[in-house]
Structure 1
Amino acid sequence: MLGKILGGIAGKQVADNTASVSGTKGAILGAVTGSVLRRASIPAMIAMAAGGYALKKYKDRKDREAAKRKRFETPPAAA
């Protein structure tokens, strides 16, 4: 019970810092995450952490490439 409450609080904090997740959705995800992690094995937790890290690196690289492309695009000519 306490774990779900603390997970919900942590999820709401994450939702406050993330534009695509609402406060309620973050609280629910935080509460569910605690029970999922409690049932997961150590190798599964390591795989989830590695996958999250790889996803973050992939998204960061795509954001950098998009910013670089945007910087070199020429604005439309004024008629």
Structure 2
Amino acid sequence: MIGKIIGAFVGDRLAKRTGGMSGAKGAALGVVGTAVLRRISLPAMAAIAAGGYAAKKLSEKNSGTRSGGAETTS
């Protein structure tokens, strides 16, 4: 019960910081997130974290090449 309350609180706070999400939706995602984390194994958590890190790096790499572009000098 306390884990659900903490998850809802953290989800609410994160939702308020990100755009396009209400506090209630964040709280619901926090409750669901704590339930999911309780049921998956440690190797699965590590794989999810590694995949998220790789996706973030790939996204940063792709956005950097599009916005920066190739500069030409005369």
Residue ranges of structure 2 left out of the alignment (5+ in a row) = none
TM-score in terms of structure 1 length: 0.75
What is the aligned residue count?
70
Give 3-state SS (helix, strand or coil) of 1:25's partner.
Answer: helix
Write out per-residue CA displacement over residues 15-53 of structure 1, whole angstroms, 9 at most, x where no aligned residue. Answer: 122114322211111111101000110111111111111
In the alignment, is residue 33 of structure 1 matched against residue 37 of structure 2?
A: no
* Offset of residue 59 of structure 1: 2.0
For residues 7 and 37 of structure 2, what CA distance do their matches in structure 1 show?
11
Amino acid at match of 1:19: G
* Offset of residue 62 of structure 1: 2.6
Identity %: 47
Give 3-state SS (helix, strand or coil) of 2:51's partner.
Answer: helix
TM-score in terms of structure 2 length: 0.79
* Offset of residue 63 of structure 1: 2.5
Residues 1:16 and 1:63: Cα distance change in structure 2 (over 3 Å) = farther
* Further displaced range: 46-55 or 11-20: 11-20
Residues 1:22 and 1:35: Cα distance change in structure 2 (over 3 Å) = same
User: Equivalences for 1:1-79 in 2 at 5 Å?
Assistant: 1-69=1-69
